Chains A and B, each alone.
Chain A
Amino acid sequence: MIRFLVSRRLPLFPILLAFIGLYAGSPSTNAQEQRVLAPHRPVDPTDPPSKVLQLPATTRSMVGGFWMIDAYRKASISLKNGLETSSIAVRPALYLSNGMRYELDSLTVSPAGISVISINDSLAKLGIAPWGILSGYVEMEYSWAWDPLCVTVTTIDATHSTIFTSGLQPSAVATASLSLEAPRVVNGLNTVDGVWWKATGNVTGFVALSNASVKAVDAKITVVSDSNSPVGDVDVHLSPHGTKVVDLKELVPLPKGATGGLRIEYAGASNAVLITGGLEDDSSGYSANIPLRSFAMPAQSQPVDETYTELGLMTGAADPMLLFPVGTTFTPYSILRNVGDSLVTVTPTFYWMIDGAPRSAHLPSFKLASLSSLSLDLPSLLLSAGLGTFQGSVNLALKAQGPPGSLLLAGGSVDQNNNYVFQVFPRGVQESVAKSISYWSTGNGDDTMVTVWNPADEPQNYTFTLLFDGGHYRVPLHLEARASRMFNISDIIHGQIPDADGEVIPAGVHEGSAKIAGTQADNEHILVAMDASTYNVRKATCSYYCISCDGSVYAYVDTGNPFPFVAGSTSQFYLHENWNTGVGTYTNYATWSSSSTNIATVNATNGSGTGVSGGTTTFTASLTDAVYNSHYCGYNSVSCPALGFVQGTGSENVKPQITAVSPNWGQVGTSVPVTITGKGFGTAGTVSFSGTGITVTYGARNDSSITATFTIAPSTTVGFQNVTVTNSGQASGPANFQVSPAIATPVNFHMVSQSNLNDGSLFFTYAWSSSTGNQADLSACKVGEQVYYPAYPTTPYVWPLPMVQQTANPTVLSYPGTYQGGPDTNGPPNSYASPPYSSSSFTATQRFYWSCTNYNGGATQTLYPDIIIARNIFKDVDGYWKFQIQKSGYLNKVKLPGQ
């Protein structure tokens, strides 16, 4: 059974104890502190691509990405295909503010590829003047089983140096099978909270509301002060698919440094309204996105500890490598709002690097009342941490203790003219697998700055991979405990240093995406915080793009190995996880259970199943792992990843098992008492045959045996029929039952013994008896074998090299029926070609037969169902080339000479 994962967000517990205490200096060696360890979880192996379960695609879409254009503003859509195993066809559409929908040209995004669509150019192509004042939102349609895209829309005004970015989220209509992030409901209304701040006295703000539904929606925007006192409110009526941009005029008279909150409320469908907000000062070129908390966090009876980081906050003179104008200095800022219902205690900690060594300073905690806002005085805090004259970047970690998801954050750095604004995306710190940057650019004056921080108290190794059209480039990253690294992607490109695979990035490459992962595999668990922003010194703009985390999309339990799963035997089961990238992994290290232990049991910790009785049970396996969340692109502080419960189930059929049918033959026209022994028959197991003519009268039946009388009609065809036992709808594997004529014939041909010979042969002994019980009655009969090789009837068969052997095809041998049996040697070739060896294989079919001159003109009759003999030459795990032969479940192998 396939089950989509439910993204049940876990609190950011793993980092819980990382920041207890107050200390400055080296982050190591504090006996009072509990160390934060890097994950050391074994890496789950990867499924071969052919074994990755493919779910049926459905038409789905993502919506959002508020855009606005005019004579100055240009908007573009950036797409990243999160699938690494498949391209995806996308049908983009624009909704204008009046609700009109315009479909753009379809496009196909290559595996792990990116694509950028100019909204201005697209509208011009549709005959809509792109210099008009237009706004709206974006819809991306595609056919896939989940939402594999990461899409952001950027609106840039190079003249006024303002830039706004908005992400897309899964459409509520198309993703009913997923648990969408929904706003919390307060007083019966969907409620989204935000935070604003005035970096300059001229900062104004706006909130853009888009109605993604087909019904009109009424919404209300309320602006509040830092202490949650009402400042003003606006009622907004949204037509279907319409967009309205509401200016926050209430902010105009407020002074520089003021902060406060926003609340947007609307009735109706929870995901109907898409909300984006921005702050801007055209006179200075200041712009920033308004953070919004548009989803509800799970209720917790006890306060939890969560930690968020704001990476790469710049302080002091700009790094010369960033090429800002001489004299540019940056000041970091951090705005907090408690959007929860209870008090939150916040503990800030700075982390920075000096001479390649990590340093840290814990700062005093403070409390933030419900719905109140605060602008941290970071310059003063830096001064108190001894960083008053520090020039460079620091990482700010904020531990919040209170109801989960209470803290809404905005952070960044701004220059002394409020022109260059590096807004950073506060991110939760939690164990993850690979994380991706959806877009980077080094073209047209752009560059992308990446900051990576190791939050653990032990070193970690990562692989940072730049993905671009036509290739990839891997950068190994070693970060000591609590150390961070900041680098520009242009420096990597300009370096032209071959990576471990010998790859370099062609000089003509100016855009792509990137991924950070462990060194072993993308699904290796790591602890890392990463941020990236693409800035342009000339335009004085800085934009963020989506940082997403790989995660499981769905999981299932397989059908076990060996298959089929039979009563009285064990099979190993695995939980398979399919990731958003299209890759599959499997593990048996999960918590296992069986719905019907009378059918099968399963080891609770390793997935080893034992069949009990015929029937069907459901195995369930669950573990905590990264769960894919396609909301990562929205400007919501969604913890990335969302660790959650990955749970898969499998409907497991347990087959009854026949170990013997005695006797295993009967003459036509007779009734034969038969006992079938085995396991899993239940108390009402039924016997059936592959042919006609045999009826069954049941005697005693229990789970391990069935006694019955087989009545064989005179017209029953002589030969073999398969006997099966069915219990609760599950049929056993077949056993043989021989129907013999009403004269003396060889019957009950069976294997007596088996052994392996040193020369690599399989050695069997077989025996048969007479249907009359007297072997002498078989004087008119012969027993023999026919062995058919490939390409029959071409003879002789020349065995494939390096096996040197020829055999008659078929090989036919026969003996008087009065004999009772004999050995059968299935051997290796007489010799081998000289090394070097290579792989080869073939199979032969062995058919034992009987013939009696007094039956059917002496024609050959099947004495035993065909047996396959398989031979092959292969290189064994010990490195030696070997001959191997397999027959009837037995195997022998021998090392080839000359090695």
Chain B
Amino acid sequence: MRRFHVLPDSPPASSAQPGQRWVFEGSWCLNEGLPAVADLLGQASPLPASPAKIALDASAVSTWDSGFAMLLNRLILQLQGQGAQLDLSALPQGLRRLLQLAQLGQPPEPQSRAKPGAVQKLGEATLKLWADMQAFARFIGELLLAGLQSLGGRGSFRSRDFWAVVEQVGPQALGIVSLISFLVGLILAYMGAAQLALFGAQIYIADLVSIGMVREIGALMTGIVIAGRSGAAFAAQLGTMQVNEEIDAYRTAGLAPMQFLVLPRVLALLCMTPLLTIYSSVMGILAGALVVVLVFGLDATAYFHQTLEVLTLTDFWVGLLKGGVYGAMVGLSGCLRGMQCGRSAQAVGDAATSAVVTGILLIVVTASMLTIMFYKLGI
């Protein structure tokens, strides 16, 4: 049972001022619920005339925890604020030391955590966007320089690193690229069929699917898959290396992280995405064939004949170029975000997220630019 009562304290002979003894008894633990400081003060009021002499007596407390220590701490601060003179000698020794500990240490300068206004936010966002664009441009520049130096034979990444990344971004992505390209080919074929069947021109499904896949969709789907897979992986790998100071270790050993970490990754993507794009187009065209043969009862030979008839080498090169460009975009954004990563778990997560978002954004923007450009050029 918890008990609190206030006794008049007989003053020492030398002092004329009577005091109070605040007695705590029983068990004072958080689990059993603790009273508020105001309740204790209410029970003790009126306080003796200022300066009040108050002795806190917890010698009869059977069990206590840090909740009681917190309560006393608050009580003491409040009483001291009112100018009371406190006598803590009747507190258990451990408790007294705990209270002393809590009073040590200098609180820091107050931090300003004012919420910014709308205009300030807009301004900061604009500045951040500008800084981001500068960082991206600088990053591309540094990467090109690193590439040139490698070509010139001055320092180069280890070929084993390069092939490991190639394996990771190429062959290991085949499964997911197959699935997505096949399904997208299926959707394209069905969508086209619904319209073309109106005037009995189902054979032109072949035109739609093959040109669509080879020129645009194959590269686009590959780019998006790669952004989610490899872009995020690059950012997370480099971010974790940043956290573990591995990147600093490269720098201090006189090795450029650009050359050893970024270059192999971007190069691997630059090589593998065009190949994946071709693969993706083939899968889409096969899916189209399946729809045409099984659903619309056309002849497979006719479908493939029509496909070969309509596809030109230009379409092929356009798709390949787009694949390469998207791969470079994904590689750049993944590595940039990884290298910019902060030094905490949170920062690694942010880097991976930002890498995917930046990668997809760049893909979509360049896709639109390239499509318009090729249209204007008549390619």
Bound together: no
